[in-house]
A and B are shown apart, each in its own frame.
Chain A
């Protein structure tokens, strides 16, 4: 008999990983108004940076900060070289450009680090038993990383002047501009923030699985699903949706098996969107 509590726990952990990626997607979507397909590959880059950082310093935490920094830098470069130029164009142009950026990053990673898999040097630890449920110390750390990241993003968005400006631009770009907010400055802050979150997400995925040039790209679809389910542009919603999809997938496995659990999460996505087209926490965007 498979313990449902353990399955749900697995779901939460898988969901947190997806949720962090969805957070990066939803930040860009909320303000720059397009689905950034390069998110996955910025994650990959963050994972490689974290791997190098951890190798140099011998500390996973410092490595993760390396990953976040690298993600932020690449986010800024991507904005400055590509997305800034496409500012006035349709979101489809930006989406296609982001796919191009994704290919670029992946190719560079492949050349720089090779196509073989790499892993973080992690000590193997036995789980704790709490009420006869196996809880893995690494997973607890991972939860902490996700919560801290979410708290920082929340604080930046709601407690700092640049965050207020970001939200102003998200609400109404032209009103923000006439109020004296520099769109360029806001956008740079946004891309740096989204890049840093991607970098952390990539590091977390890398620690849980293996690091390879394709890892981020392969997580993009579930990340998009979670971002949409959570409500576009809603940071907390992305994480909650990630967890919800994770739990549904894992708890359903005794009934539908492992092959169809992924399809099932998309059925849930469809069902929720039929009832709440704006996602779990989204607000309806007015016509501009």
Chain B
């Protein structure tokens, strides 16, 4: 090998660069960097800001309690724009530039499915609020680094089937937005409904951004269903319901609450929305953890904590992560932290509701964090099973009637 002046210079430059970056990394070893990757704009906008602010608030709370496992959180916030393309760019920036060790709070299955491979490749944790069943299993969750704080669409489908039975519907049909979440809802419903011995009369899958959904409606209504179960979002549901009402049919609707929310009622009016059934996974209301979250949410957002189930999930993400770090001890790597997540969240152990409480209890033994979003017991896939609320729209108000457990 001949050593030219140029290659020597290159080597020197490389060495000095490495040491610069190495030095920086060492100086920041005290902090644990997390990426708050939330739908601040786009379809998730009603929830995104609150989700992001709760990550920041929970991180501040952990830092105020002396940090987790000797480290303090440093939060980097990004917007997914509720589109996979923008989310991937933002996740790359968080992982490669900010060197985050966990990505928290992606919303919408398309977004989470796009981001989770990046987290897998980087070997970091990914906690999300998406429902697609594919997020449970390989390849998406091949390394077991993914945790879902929301019910799977499959579980939503099971809840829909329970409600159908309870309300006495006999002839259901389904309409699904063509993505993993929409189809996951209606397929989950079909599976659960057929297991109860029922039959789904018609199943339509439709495309986003159409000027009209009348042809789709025509096909579904031709089967004469008594109820239509959807896997849909706000904008398409608005258009579909208006066109449905104007067709003069009187079918009932069961719609996930991320579409059947106050914005929908406002958009279609009281007459059209009368009697719609909105189904949502519900927070662990009445729990101590929920009270802590609710207080933080009211302080930052000036709104009731109940108005944003996803913000309760992102709050819990930070708390479980912090408790796992505390349990894993100072300087633990991602694998060691990951190994502790179920240990601090699932039974058995002392039930705790806040980080500070859990930190104390960890000195004595095992803990079981009962979260603000659900009791937060992760199964083998990293999924939780929250309860579901069933609300009816009456005179423009969405009123909860009962709770379904699956």
Query: Across the two chains, which residue of chain A brings its CB closest to B267?
Result: A119
The residue that A124 contacts in the complex, of B209, B211, B246, with Cβ under 8 A, is B246
- Residues of chain B with a CB closer than 8 A to A2's CB: 215, 218-219, 222
Asked whether A125 lies within 8 Å of B246 as measured between CB atoms, the reply is yes
Hey, which chain B residues are within 8 Å of A205, CB to CB?
211
Residues of chain B contacted by A117 (CB below 8 angstroms) = 234-235, 238, 263, 267
Q: How far is the CA of A18 from the CA of B211 in the complex (A)?
A: 8
Contact B247 A258 (CB under 8 A): no
1/0 per residue, CB under 8 A from B, across A109-131: the answer is 01000111101001011110000
* Size bin of chain B's contact surface: 35 or more
A97 to B234, CA, bound (A): 32
A114's partner among B45, B219, B235 (CB-CB below 8 A) is B45
Q: Which residues in window 228-263 of B have CB below 8 A to A?
A: 234-235, 238-239, 242, 245-248, 263
Residues in B with CB closer than 8 Å to A17 are 211
A-B contact count (CB 8 A): 91
CA distance A210 to B234 in the complex (A): 10
- Out of A110, A127, A209, A254, name the residue touching B41 (CB < 8 Å): A110
Q: Do A253 and B267 have beta carbons less than 8 Å apart?
A: no
- How far apart are the CA atoms of A124 and B242 in the complex, in Å? 7
A114 contacts across to B, CB distance below 8 A: 45
Q: Are B238 and A13 in contact (CB under 8 A)?
A: no
A259 lies within 8 A of B246 (CB): no
Q: Establish whether residues B246 and A208, one from each chain, have CB atoms under 8 Å apart when the complex forms.
A: no
B residues less than 8 Å from A119 (CB atoms): 238, 267-268
Judge if B205 is at the interface, Cβ distance under 8 Å.
yes
**Closest CB-CB distance, A157 to chain B, in whole Å?**
26
Quick check: B248 and A126 within 8 Å, CB to CB? yes
Say yes or no: is B396 at the interface (Cβ < 8 Å to chain A). Answer: no
The reply to whether A1 and B239 form a contact with Cβ atoms under 8 Å apart is no
Task: Give the shortest distance, in Å, between B78 (CB) and chain A (any CB).
Answer: 16
Flag whether A35 is at the interface (Cβ < 8 A): no
CB distance from A201 to the nearest CB of B (A): 11
B206 interfacial contact with A, CB 8 Å:
yes
Question: A253 contacts B242, CB within 8 Å?
Answer: no
B204, B208, B215, most chain A CB atoms within 10 A: B215
Supposing A124-B242, A209-B235, A258-B205 touch, asked if A10 and B215 sit within 8 A by C-beta, the answer is yes
Q: Are A127 and B218 in contact (CB under 8 A)?
A: no
Q: Is A84's CB within 8 Å of the partner chain B? A: no
Closest B residue to A261 by CB, please name it: B207
B214 interface residue, CB < 8 Å from A? yes
In this complex, the member of A2, A119, A219 whose beta carbon has the largest number of chain B beta carbons within 10 angstroms is A119
Contact, CB under 8 Å: A210 / B238:
yes
Q: Which of B178, B216, B218, B267 contacts A210 (CB 8 A)?
A: B267
Q: Bound complex: CA of A42 vs CA of B176, how far in Å?
A: 31
A-contact bits for B159-186, CB 8 A (1 contact / 0 none):
0000000000000000000100000000
Is A250 within 8 A of B239, CB to CB? no
Task: Say yes or no: is A14 at the interface (Cβ < 8 Å to chain B).
Answer: yes
- CB-CB under 8 A from A7, the residues of chain B are 215, 218
Asked whether any CB of chain B lies closer than 8 Å to the CB of A262, the reply is yes
Interface flag for A218 (CB, 8 Å): yes
- Check B238–A219 contact: CB distance below 8 A: no
A102 to chain B, nearest CB (A): 15
Query: Once the chains are docked, how many angstroms separate the CA of A3 from the CA of B219?
Result: 10
Q: Which one, A124, A253, A262, contacts B215 given CB within 8 A?
A: A253
CB-CB nearest in chain A for B41: A115
Asked whether B329 is an interface residue with its Cβ less than 8 Å from the other chain, the reply is no
Instruction: Indicate whether B23 reaches chain A with its CB closer than 8 angstroms.
Output: no
Chain B residues within an 8 Å CB radius of A115? 41-42, 45
- Which residues in B have their C-beta under 8 angstroms from that of A116? 45-46, 263
Please measure, in the bound complex, the distance between the C-alpha atom of A110 and the C-alpha atom of B204, giving whole angstroms: 32
Cα(A119)–Cα(B241), bound, Å: 13
Interchain CA distance A1-B224 in the complex, whole Å: 12
Question: B209 and A218: CB pair below 8 A?
Answer: yes
Q: A7-B218, A13-B212, A115-B45 are in contact. Are A258 and B235 (CB under 8 A)?
A: no
Question: Is B70 interfacial (CB-CB < 8 Å)?
Answer: no
Q: Which residues of B contact A126 (CB under 8 A)?
A: 246, 248
Q: Kindly identify, within residues 131 to 146 of chain B, every residue whose CB is under 8 Å from any CB belonging to chain A.
A: none
Q: Once bound together, how far apart are the Cα atoms of A183 and B76, in whole Å?
A: 51
With A and B bound together, what is the CA distance between A253 and B211 in angstroms? 15
- What 0/1 readout, one digit per residue, does chain B (321-351) give for beta carbons within 8 Å of chain A? 0000000000000000000000000000000
Chain A residue, CB-CB nearest to B205? A259
CB of A134 within 8 A of CB of B247, answer yes
Q: Does B379 have its Cβ within 8 Å of any Cβ on chain A?
A: no
A156 to chain B, nearest CB (A): 26
B267→A262 contact, CB < 8 A? no
Q: A117-B234, A117-B263, A124-B242 are in contact. Are A6 and B218 (CB under 8 A)?
A: yes
- B239 and A209 form a contact (CB under 8 A): yes
Q: Are B210 and A14 in contact (CB under 8 A)?
A: yes
Q: Which residues of B contact A10 (CB under 8 A)?
A: 212, 214-215, 218
Nearest to B242 among chain A residues (CB) is A124
Report A114-169 residues with CB < 8 Å from chain B CB. 114-117, 119, 122, 124-127, 134, 136, 138
16 residue pairs of the A-B complex, CB under 8 angstroms, read A2-B215, A2-B219, A10-B214, A14-B212, A115-B41, A115-B42, A116-B46, A122-B242, A124-B245, A124-B272, A126-B248, A127-B248, A209-B211, A210-B239, A210-B267, A262-B207
By a beta-carbon cutoff of 8 Å, the part of chain B in contact with chain A is 41-42, 45-46, 178, 204-212, 214-216, 218-219, 222, 234-235, 238-239, 242, 245-248, 263, 267-269, 271-272
What would 15 more interface pairs be, CB under 8 Å, given A110-B41, A115-B41? A1-B222, A3-B218, A13-B212, A14-B211, A115-B42, A115-B45, A117-B235, A117-B267, A124-B269, A127-B246, A138-B246, A210-B267, A258-B204, A258-B206, A259-B207
- Residues of chain A touching chain B, judged by Cβ–Cβ distance below 8 Å, are 1-3, 6-7, 10, 13-14, 17-18, 110, 114-117, 119, 122, 124-127, 134, 136, 138, 205, 208-210, 212, 214, 218-219, 250, 253-254, 257-259, 261-262
The 5 closest A-B pairs by CB, nearest first: A115-B45, A218-B209, A119-B267, A17-B211, A115-B41
